[in-house]
């Protein structure tokens, strides 16, 4: 039996969260929060003199029904980076606890660990960038609280094997976080609805990628209602601003366009994959379930710099384990990809 309280920091278990009157009443003659009764300073800012909803019930309900979970299984944050930060705040005692990450992977898991003075144990992905399940289980000790998995993985672009993920969720003695930032570009089903069956599972998603809304900063964590309660207790009182909440809700009126754009990105991903394969300096292109490609090439650093010299910015990932000589290239529009391909034709090596 999984005992959540064994993993939650004692000070967080006993925390009395900030309480505003808006937690209880969102409508009425609102004289509770010292807002400016004269309103916002311009017509196009109408309504913004009010604090946003602290619990974001409407948005959480919308996301819940889209991902086939209940609203109490959904936390919304200022990007999934906020959810990552909150995981440390809830579960990891600074200077004491540890997490496991599986490099090469998304950088914020260890940056956030460093911010919180939490130890990081690294168990590298191997054999086609898959997790080493036995090594992860062996590495986890009494102080290990979180395991971060990223599927599809950034920067490698591949899905983690389903059986391996499930064995880890079953056997890892702590919280397993699956970051699904790129899931909508893949053929794999999301794990979000599995939070019903797995009390130690947290699934992260974001509107920054498939929804095309990186500018609004809206990330989601899916988990058991008990874990989400802790997120709600620890988060800043009004963590989602009113403009973001409105844009996120509006996006759900345009799901057909979102799906069409995902299809377009996948089509361009395939085209870019094939075209990049034509260059003699390209050694390998990793197959991708995301909106980017990891490309191994000769003289990657020089090519990276030459592209930057032409105002084409890609990401050099050659210092990541297993990514020697690799650039990570976001799939652009058709025109953008053509510009990139033309620039690559002209690199001098």
Ligand X SMILES: Cc1ncc(COP(=O)(O)O)c(C=O)c1O
In the bound state with ligand X, the residue whose beta carbon lies nearer, of 108 and 242, is 108
Chain residue whose CB lies nearest ligand X = 79
Q: What's the token pair of residue 194?
A: 């599995």
Read off the DSSP letter of residue 160.
P
Q: Least distance in Å: CB of 284 to ligand X? A: 21
In the bound state with ligand X, the residue whose beta carbon lies nearer, of 41 and 215, is 215
In the bound state with ligand X, the residue whose beta carbon lies nearer, of 81 and 97, is 81
Q: Least distance in Å: CB of 63 to ligand X? A: 13
Read off the DSSP letter of residue 53.
P
**Cα(61)–Cα(67) distance, rounded to whole angstroms?**
10
Q: Is the peptide bond before 155 cis (omega within 30 degrees of 0)?
A: yes
Per the CB < 8 A criterion, the answer to whether 60 and 74 are in contact is yes
**Cα(294)–Cα(64) distance, rounded to whole angstroms?**
32
Q: Least distance in Å: CB of 178 to ligand X? A: 10
Whether the CA torsion 183, 184, 190, 192 is positive or negative: it is: positive
Q: Least distance in Å: CB of 150 to ligand X? A: 5
Q: Is 28 exposed, middle or buried (0-12, 13-18, 19+ CB in 10 A)?
A: exposed
In the bound state with ligand X, the residue whose beta carbon lies nearer, of 79 and 174, is 79
**Cα(183)–Cα(19) distance, rounded to whole angstroms?**
35
Residues that bind ligand X (CB under 6 A): 79-81, 106, 150, 154, 179, 181, 206, 208, 214, 219
In the bound state with ligand X, the residue whose beta carbon lies nearer, of 91 and 292, is 292
Q: Least distance in Å: CB of 215 to ligand X? A: 10
């Amino acid at each position: 039996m999984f005992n959540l309280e064994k993993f939650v920091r004692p000070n967080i278990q006993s925390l009395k969260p900030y309480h505003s009157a808006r937690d209880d009443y969102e409508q009425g003659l609102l004289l509770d929060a010292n807002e400016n009764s004269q309103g916002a300073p311009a017509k196009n800012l109408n309504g913004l003199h009010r604090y946003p909803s602290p619990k974001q019930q409407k948005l959480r309900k919308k996301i819940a029904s889209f991902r086939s979970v209940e609203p109490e299984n959904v936390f919304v944050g200022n990007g999934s980076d906020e959810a990552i930060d909150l995981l440390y705040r809830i579960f990891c005692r600074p200077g004491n606890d540890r997490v496991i990450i599986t490099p090469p992977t998304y950088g914020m898991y260890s940056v956030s660990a460093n911010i919180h003075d939490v130890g990081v144990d690294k168990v590298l992905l191997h054999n086609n960038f898959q997790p080493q399940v036995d090594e992860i289980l062996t590495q986890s000790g009494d102080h290990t609280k979180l395991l971060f998995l990223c599927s599809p993985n950034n920067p490698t672009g591949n899905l983690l094997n389903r059986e391996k993920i499930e064995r880890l969720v079953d056997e890892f003695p702590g919280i397993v976080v699956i970051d699904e930032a790129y899931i909508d570009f893949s053929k794999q089903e999301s794990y979000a609805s599995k939070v019903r069956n797995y009390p130690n599972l947290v699934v992260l998603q974001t509107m920054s990628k498939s929804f095309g809304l990186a500018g609004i900063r809206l990330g989601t964590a899916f988990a058991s209602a008990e874990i989400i309660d802790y997120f709600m207790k620890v988060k800043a009182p009004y963590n989602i601003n009113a403009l973001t909440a409105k844009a996120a809700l509006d996006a759900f009126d345009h799901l057909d366009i979102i799906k069409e754009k995902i299809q377009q990105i996948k089509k361009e991903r395939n085209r870019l994959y094939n075209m990049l394969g034509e260059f003699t300096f390209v050694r390998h292109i990793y197959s991708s379930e995301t909106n980017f490609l990891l490309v191994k090439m000769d003289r990657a650093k020089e090519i990276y710099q030459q592209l930057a010299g032409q105002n084409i910015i890609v990401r050099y990932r050659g210092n990541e384990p297993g990514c020697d000589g690799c650039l990570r290239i976001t799939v652009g529009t058709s025109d953008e990809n053509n510009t990139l391909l033309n620039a690559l034709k002209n690199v001098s090596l």
